[in-house]
């Protein structure tokens, strides 16, 4: 899909000039602007208010040095980021990614996506994202703790329960959130809900761990049912084997699907009998091991080096849950050729523009990340509510609220797509519905 509206073409040119060397950010903005063409035609008041020019520019970007001492007594230096993208509808909210591939462009694309995703959740949360090029893999607990403390020493100057509330993402799980929370509390001498994804003994929410994976399946189930289909008896391929992939597998299996593959950044496993999730949990959640160790427990399964070929496994439904741009045009074409008819995204921006084009031109059911994986941040929003109330809800209460939110997100995407003449295009629906709420708030608040 290419932009046709001259105003949007000019805006995109400005974005490209201003953000050179940041292809992921430009990709994310392009995808959104392409689907906003009918909105621009219908809502000249939003153009007049300069909403689009403002929404593509972060309110604030913070970059800082993160020095820490490794187990050999040597000083290491990483780079820290926090991009506070948009606070029109609530405090900035978005996770912290710890991965060697992190640079400003990755954090900006994630922050931009987060603005629309958070809007879709129906909760009052603005968009932000943070991270560092630190790699927790292979580090001792002591090294991870010293890094997290140093990272938070600087970050604490810029966040707060009513200002900016970070959470987990790739490389940031319960351990890292715990170390960051402890340091924030020590520096500020206050116990507030400044981070979500906390442990259950100190303000965390039940069901937050499961939320993104479960939410992905709740959204996908709505999409399937609206199109006369279901998970039951279907073959499902899921990439990744981290937080999102594990709980997407659990929920898809509970709906009667057979999940046949999972991966990590080294390779993928294929188990024709269906993945044994207790084995995966033991490897990934207890031992922090590699996915190939699955074969030690299940020798009948196969392991293949390299993660891209996971998409050559024939399946009905693909749930990419690892990282950005993991499905390119070639992989998407193979998925379609092998009979895949649904792709729903647990990871952020896992499909390249060519892959998305392939889904749409072959009329696949396509659940875009900013809608389909919004369950994590929605439950983070519920964690914030519980922290403010100083109460804890039961697993069932939180899960029921999450389920309701994912249903309403699907409905919002479906209805916006219909209203703007793109029925069945849930990507367009998600972008439009997410955008309109933020845009109305920005217009109402004047030129800020
Ligand atoms: P984890 O760190 O728990 O797991 C990430 C998984 O993806 C691991 O299996 C990892 O393998 C794999 N992976 C990471 N980077 C790459 C890469 N470059 N190539 C291939 N595989 C890779 O992260 P999450 O499960 O939390 O996050 C997964 C995705 O979901 C991300 O896109 C994240 O932004 C998104 N997301 C997460 C939410 C959450 O609540 N956690 C909320 C919404 C979106 P390895 O161990 O080898 O690195």
Residues 167 and 227 in one domain: no
What pLDDT was estimated at residue 403? Answer: 98
Question: How far is the C-alpha of 166 from the C-alpha of 97, rounded, in Å?
Answer: 10
Ramachandran area for residue 187 (φ above 0: left; ψ -120 to 50: alpha; else beta): alpha
How many angstroms separate the alpha carbon of residue 242 from the centre of ligand 1? 6
Assess whether pLDDT exceeds 90 at residue 2: no
> Active-site residue 129, yes or no?
yes
Residues 278 and 300 in one domain: yes
Question: How far is the C-alpha of 323 from the C-alpha of 100, rounded, in Å?
Answer: 13
Assess whether pLDDT exceeds 90 at residue 10: yes
What pLDDT was estimated at residue 443? Answer: 98
User: Is there a domain that residue 431 lies in?
Assistant: no
When pLDDT is averaged across residues 102-109 and rounded to a whole number, the result is 98
Residues 111 and 13 in one domain: no
CB 264 less than 6 A from any atom of ligand 1: yes
| Residue 120 and residue 374 in contact, taking contact as beta carbons nearer than 8 Å | yes
For residue 109, the domain's CATH number is: 3.40.50.10860
Of the residues 372, 389, 422, the one at which a domain ends: 372
CB 244 less than 6 A from any atom of ligand 1: yes
CB 240 less than 6 A from any atom of ligand 1: yes
What pLDDT was estimated at residue 210? Answer: 98
Residues 171 and 90 in one domain: yes
Residues 163 and 101 in one domain: yes
Residues 152 and 242 in one domain: no
When pLDDT is averaged across residues 110-129 and rounded to a whole number, the result is 98
How many angstroms separate the alpha carbon of residue 448 from the centre of ligand 1? 34
Assess whether pLDDT exceeds 90 at residue 314: yes
pLDDT bracket for residue 393 (50, 70, 90)? very high
User: Is there a domain that residue 441 lies in?
Assistant: no
Nearest to 317 by CA among 255, 398, 266, 241: 255
CB 373 less than 6 A from any atom of ligand 1: yes
Distant-in-sequence, close-in-space partners of 421: CB < 8 Å, separation ≥ 6: 38
Question: How far is the C-alpha of 117 from the C-alpha of 114, rounded, in Å?
Answer: 5
Distant-in-sequence, close-in-space partners of 74: CB < 8 Å, separation ≥ 6: none
When pLDDT is averaged across residues 140-161 and rounded to a whole number, the result is 98
pLDDT bracket for residue 12 (50, 70, 90)? very high
CB 136 less than 6 A from any atom of ligand 1: no
In 108-234, DSSP assigns E strands to 127-132, 164-167
When pLDDT is averaged across residues 129-142 and rounded to a whole number, the result is 97
Residues 172 and 294 in one domain: no
The whole domain housing 349 covers 209-372
Nearest to 341 by CA among 323, 307, 367, 322: 367
Assess whether pLDDT exceeds 80 at residue 425: yes
When pLDDT is averaged across residues 233-240 and rounded to a whole number, the result is 98
Question: How far is the C-alpha of 248 from the C-alpha of 216, rounded, in Å?
Answer: 7
What pLDDT was estimated at residue 1? Answer: 73
How many angstroms separate the alpha carbon of residue 168 from the centre of ligand 1? 10
Tens digit of pLDDT for each residue in 317-365? 999 999 999 999 999 999 999 999 999 999 999 999 999 999 999 999 9
Residues 46 and 174 in one domain: no
Residues 51 and 92 in one domain: no
Reported pTM: 0.97
Nearest protein CA to atom 21 of ligand 1, as residue: 265
What pLDDT was estimated at residue 246? Answer: 98
Residues 21 and 142 in one domain: no
Domain count, the chain: 3
User: Is there a domain that residue 186 lies in?
Assistant: yes
User: Is there a domain that residue 180 lies in?
Assistant: yes
Residues 28 and 73 in one domain: no
How many angstroms separate the alpha carbon of residue 324 from the centre of ligand 1? 9
């Amino acid at each position: 899909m290419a932009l046709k509206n001259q105003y949007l073409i000019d805006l995109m040119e400005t974005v490209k000039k201003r953000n050179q060397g940041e292809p992921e950010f430009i990709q994310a903005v392009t995808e959104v602007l392409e689907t906003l063409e009918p909105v621009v035609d219908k809502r000249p008041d939003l153009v007049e208010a300069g909403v689009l020019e403002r929404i593509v520019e972060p309110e604030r970007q913070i970059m800082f040095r993160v020095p820490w001492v490794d187990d050999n007594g040597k000083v290491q230096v990483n780079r820290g980021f926090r991009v506070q993208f948009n606070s029109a509808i609530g405090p900035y909210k978005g996770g912290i990614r710890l991965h060697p591939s992190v640079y400003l462009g990755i954090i900006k694309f994630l922050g931009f996506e987060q603005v629309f995703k958070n809007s879709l959740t129906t909760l009052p949360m603005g968009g932000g994202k943070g991270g560092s090029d630190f790699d927790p893999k292979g580090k001792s607990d002591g090294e991870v703790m010293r890094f997290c403390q140093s990272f938070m020493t600087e970050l604490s100057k810029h966040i707060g329960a009513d200002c900016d509330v970070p959470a987990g993402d790739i490389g940031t799980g319960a351990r890292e959130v715990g170390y960051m929370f402890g340091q924030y509390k020590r520096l500020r001498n206050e116990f507030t809900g400044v981070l979500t994804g906390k442990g259950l003994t100190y303000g965390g929410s039940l069901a937050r761990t499961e939320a993104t994976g479960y939410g992905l399946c709740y959204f996908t189930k709505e999409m399937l049912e609206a199109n006369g289909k279901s998970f039951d008896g279907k073959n499902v391929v899921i990439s990744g084997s981290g937080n999102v992939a594990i709980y997407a597998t659990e929920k898809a299996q509970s709906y009667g699907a057979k999940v046949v593959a999972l991966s990590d950044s080294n390779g993928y496993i294929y188990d024709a009998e269906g993945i044994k999730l207790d084995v995966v949990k033991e490897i990934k959640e207890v031992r922090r091991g590699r996915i190939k160790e699955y074969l030690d427990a299940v020798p009948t399964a196969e392991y293949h080096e390299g993660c891209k070929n996971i998409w050559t496994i024939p399946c009905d439904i693909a749930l990419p849950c690892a990282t950005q741009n993991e499905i390119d045009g070639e992989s998407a074409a193979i998925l379609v050729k092998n009979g895949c008819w649904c792709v729903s995204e647990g990871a952020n921006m896992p499909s390249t523009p060519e892959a998305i084009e392939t889904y749409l031109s072959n009329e696949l059911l396509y659940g875009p990340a900013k809608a389909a994986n919004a369950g994590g941040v929605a439950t983070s929003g519920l964690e914030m509510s519980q922290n403010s109330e100083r109460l804890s809800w039961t697993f069932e209460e939180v899960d029921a609220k999450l389920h309701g939110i994912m249903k309403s997100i699907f409905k919002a995407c479906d209805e916006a797509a219909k209203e703007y003449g793109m029925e069945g295009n849930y990507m367009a629906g998600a972008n439009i519905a997410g955008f309109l709420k933020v845009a109305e708030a920005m217009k109402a608040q004047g030129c800020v």
